[in-house]
Structure 1
Amino acid sequence: MGSRLRNVQARAAEHGRLRTGYTQGNRPMRSANWVVTSHSEEHVRTAATLWGGEPEQWSPLNSTIPQWRVITKAPSIEALITPGDPLNQYNEMWSKGGCQRRCDGETETLTRQPCLCARQFGEDWHLQKKGAVCSTTSRLNVMLPDLSGMGMWRAETHSFYAAQEWGGMVDMILAGTNGQGFIPVTLRIEPRQRVANGETKKFPVVVVELRGVTPRQALAGPMNATTALNPGAAGQARPAIEAGRRNYLADAESALTVDDVQDVYRAAHAAGHLTDDLIAALKKRADEVKAESTDPVPDEDGAYPAEVVEETTARSWPAAAQPPAN
């Protein structure tokens, strides 16, 4: 592998944004479905093919640079959380002149002063009208595996409640993977409502959910790319095998005769669980059982156990993956 600049942080290019709203003229509108925007016409047209909608040229507010967007028909899309920490969260206040405040919840980082919103309005500052206080801003960088390009897409929400869920979800995943490997997720726009002071407020919240894998798999450590890209197949097959798999080695260890070991072999063969290692272990156990066997001895009444004649044709090892003869 080649070298890298040590004073430059490597990162993937940003291909576009995943939005929960759009502008109609100068009026902001909420959307129940995802809005995909990008400078790339190709990316937007592919998104329209996957999730519906009509691609169109569009210019963001306060910008003269045209982009492309599609208001899709999909309230949920498939994505991948990539290695590293994909989530950034701040309380921010913006104006035409740029970012005026950026607070981590305790300290306003631009002026190094204590949180200005909390100092002015108390702990429920987030209930104030938009523009009077900072907006809770969460930015999640994800990869969209079905779009071309290896870059990132930024999902952004200004929901105070989504911020709590995003942070909790991502932190649990990072605790299991240590920021390594890919995690398949679904980004879903979910309608919510909140009743306070006799008023009902409806709003959308972006929910981040595991896709096709269980918490056990997601928290077990870094996931390989094959599983992350095809989590449905991995999520269905792996638990079925693990839940129903017989402990063949333990059964073989308790075997008293070679015939018992052969029964274990047949069971593994019928279930499709035979491997080269298992065949070798069963063959070794059969040799051990044969070596441990001794001439019969009489019991306390002087009687010898009845002799059983084996039918070798019925009790032979199956032809498939047949172990070597003794």
Structure 2
Amino acid sequence: MGARISNVQREARELGRLRTGWSVPHKDPGKRPVPVKSETWVLTSHARHYLDEAAEVWGGTVEPWQPQGSGPEQYRVVTERRSIDALLPPGDPLSQYNEMWNAGGCLRRCDGETEQLTRKSCLCARQFGPDWHLQPKGVVCSVTSRLRVVLPDMPDMGTWRAETHSFYAASEWGGTVDMVLSGTGGRGLIPVTLRIEQRKRVANGQTKNFPVVAVELRGVTPRQALTGPLPTAVALDPSAAPRLALEAARTDWVAEAACALTIDDLQDTWRRAFRAGELTDALAALLKARCEEVEAESVRPARRTAEPQPVPDEDGAIDAEVIEEIDDPGWPDDPDATG
């Protein structure tokens, strides 16, 4: 029988990254690279055959790519798609921090209240106030959101990491993922679409255009996603399970209550309907009434079965058992009883 180490976190291997741009060297070697935004998804990985498959599915050309720093060479494909299909894996796939990095690694990692490396209060908010995120990059931390997803059409078993430094995406990703987790409890897969959409913000007389990665449900309704964990077959191919089939797969709680024979059966129905989010007031009242019926039936005296009447034979005689008469000793508590 298999076993797991209880204090070791289990996490699927990271196969690559999903990016919304890249960077090019600055004309001044002493300055930071210049970021370039992409209107389509960019995939990077250490394994070329992953990206060969991505290019087949989403277009683009695989090319060698050198990430910032001194890491080993990888591969990159700039796809032709603004949206790609993905799956949210079980557990909580989202990690969010305010971070500051340099060539030596991570300098700050803050949850919005406490800087995790020094255990001090948020340095950016203390210095610049609640609108600290409007300050130039490098002066304050960058809002960093990392979302682990499964790309069902790619080779191998593992996750891909989508990362964004958008302040607005951080809010939307957190809201979407938390809403999904409230319904699934972190169990099962959820089909989603990752889409790059262009946004515009007008403030202080200035107009700013910027991309935001939206996480959208794919092929299922919010009702279906929030009812509980989806069957894996539905998550992998939502189009193969039309809405009517999903509705038909629901348990008929009323019929189950009518067939229940014991209080334990009815209590089990109550618990399962509650976990499925389908314990309505009407169903609760019906289950309580059925419990009273079952309880009443359990204390009702059993009916006596009528004894068959003797049937005379062809001579008109009736078989009978001869019982020898004995003196009645009386009730044991009777003081006049004999013996």
The normalised TM-score by structure 2 is 0.70
- 1:11 matched to 2:18? The reply is no
* Corresponding residue for residue 224 of structure 2: 217
- 1:2 matched to 2:9? The reply is no
Q: Could you tell me how far 1:67 is from its partner in structure 2?
A: 0.3
2: CA distance, partners of 1:79 / 1:105: 29
1: CA distance, partners of 2:247 / 2:206: 48
CA contact (8 A) 1:214 1:235 kept: no
* Corresponding residue for residue 123 of structure 1: 130
Stretches of structure 1 lacking an aligned partner (at least 5 in a row): 248-326
Identity, % of aligned positions: 63
The equivalent position to 2:84 in structure 1, one of 65, 77, 80, is: 77
Instruction: Map 1:1-326 to 2 at 5 A.
Output: 1-25=1-25, 26-238=33-245
Q: Could you tell me how far 1:64 is from its partner in structure 2?
A: 4.2
Q: Could you tell me how far 1:237 is from its partner in structure 2?
A: 4.5
2: CA distance, partners of 1:32 / 1:235: 32
Q: Could you tell me how far 1:196 is from its partner in structure 2?
A: 1.0
Distance 1:64 1:168, change over 3 A: closer
Alpha carbon RMSD of aligned pairs, Å?
Answer: 2.0
Q: Secondary structure at the match of 1:161?
A: helix
Stretches of structure 2 lacking an aligned partner (at least 5 in a row): 26-32, 255-339
CA contact (8 A) 1:58 1:69 kept: yes
2: CA distance, partners of 1:19 / 1:232: 27
CA contact (8 A) 1:212 1:235 kept: no
Distance 1:42 1:2, change over 3 A: same
Q: Could you tell me how far 1:7 is from its partner in structure 2?
A: 2.7
- Radius of gyration: which is bigger? 2
Q: Could you tell me how far 1:238 is from its partner in structure 2?
A: 3.3
The normalised TM-score by structure 1 is 0.72
2: CA distance, partners of 1:67 / 1:189: 24
Q: Could you tell me how far 1:28 is from its partner in structure 2?
A: 2.1
Q: How many residues align?
A: 246
Q: Which runs of 4+ in 1 moved over 6 A?
A: 239-242
Q: Quick one: which amino acid aligns to residue 201 of structure 1? A: K
Q: Could you tell me how far 1:236 is from its partner in structure 2?
A: 4.6
